[in-house]
């Protein structure tokens, strides 16, 4: 059933479109290209160097953002199925998260070819990318479990989370370097839990090196805490879902 839900997520997204799964590449590529041109001019940076920097940051952010925002409707979109037959509730947010992860991996393969063509590093450090994806997925899934349950009880959260993610995006050093901001905003960025996950991708893609051990340990701790807290909240509330749908 989990596989069928993941498959449905992937098929319905591109059904009856002429380009199909090519939109997995076209959408992020167009957005990143426009952003790279605009901000490389604004920051007076070399376009190719900045494009690699931007792409390496957008890949993990798009995956994280997609899992968190789309999981909010995991139970609401499957209300009729949940009311008809008994299924483990966990499979609904999990299927959404897996669908977004597969989309992100497909995008990564295509975007990596572009990154390599414009100056990315092809080194053994790239073998750490699957591990980076695993940690990012676990971290995002923990938040997704919380959001999916909370949205059932508070429907407006679907709209609030979209606004919150936009603010979160600008507080994450994706278009700028970690030390580019000053004052109180820099303090917020320093406590942004997504930053070390972005660094997991940036180190091998832009510098051709493995992420430092501190970054890896922080990401492992954040992923473990997120999944644990999200799963505990999920277990406490999952039986009440049916009464609020």
pLDDT cut 90: percent of the chain above it = 32
| CA Rg value for the chain | 19
- The Cα 236–Cα 215 span in angstroms is 32
Three-state helix/strand/coil letters over the chain = CHHHHHHHHHHHHHCCCCCHHHHHHHHHHHHHHHHHHHHHHHCCCCHHHHHHHHHHHHHHHHHHHHHHHHHCCCCCCCHHHHHHCCCCCCHHHHHHHHHHHHHHHHHHHHHHHHHHHCCCCCCHHHHHHHHHHHHHHHHHHHHHHHHHHHHHHCCCHHHHHHHHHHHHHHCCCCCCCCCCCCHHHHHHHHCCCCHHHHHHHHHHHHHCCCCCHHHHHHHHHHHHHHHHHHHHHHHHHHHHHHHHC
Task: Give me the helix-helix angle, 47-71 and 91-117, nearest 10°.
Answer: 170
pLDDT for the residue 26: 67
Q: What average pLDDT does range 29-55 have in this prediction? A: 73
pTM of the model: 0.86
Q: Which residues of 145-184 are buried (b: 16+ CB within 10 A; e: fewer)?
A: bbbbbbbbeeeebeeebeeeeeebbebbbbbbeeeebeee
pLDDT reading at 30 higher than 90 = no
Q: What average pLDDT does range 25-43 have in this prediction? A: 69
Domain boundaries, the chain: 2-244
Predicted confidence (pLDDT) per residue in 109-166, tens digit:
777 777 777 766 678 888 899 999 999 999 999 999 999 999 998 888 888 999 999 8
pLDDT for the residue 105: 86
């Amino acid at each position: 059933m989990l596989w069928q839900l993941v498959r449905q997520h992937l098929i319905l997204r591109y059904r009856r479109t002429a380009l199909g799964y090519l939109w997995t590449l076209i959408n992020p590529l167009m957005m990143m290209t426009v952003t790279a041109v605009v901000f490389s001019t604004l920051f007076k940076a070399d376009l190719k160097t900045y494009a690699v920097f931007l792409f390496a940051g957008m890949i993990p952010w798009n995956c994280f953002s997609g899992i968190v925002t789309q999981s909010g409707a995991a139970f609401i979109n499957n209300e009729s199925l949940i009311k008809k037959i008994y299924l483990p509730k966990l499979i609904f947010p999990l299927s959404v998260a897996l669908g977004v992860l597969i989309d992100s991996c497909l995008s990564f393969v295509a975007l990596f070819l572009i990154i390599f063509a414009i100056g990315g590093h092809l080194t053994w450090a790239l073998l750490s990318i699957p591990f980076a994806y695993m940690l990012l997925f676990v971290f995002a899934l923990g938040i997704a479990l919380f959001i999916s349950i909370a949205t059932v009880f508070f429907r407006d959260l679907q709209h609030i989370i979209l606004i919150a993610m936009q603010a979160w995006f600008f507080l994450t050093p994706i278009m700028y370097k970690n030390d580019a901001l000053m004052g109180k905003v820099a303090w917020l960025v320093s406590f942004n839990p997504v930053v070390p996950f972005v660094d997991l991708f940036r180190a091998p893609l832009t510098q051709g090196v493995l992420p430092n051990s501190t970054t890896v340990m922080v990401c492992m701790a954040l992923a473990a805490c997120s999944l644990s807290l999200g799963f505990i909240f999920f277990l406490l509330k999952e039986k009440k879902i049916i009464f609020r749908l």
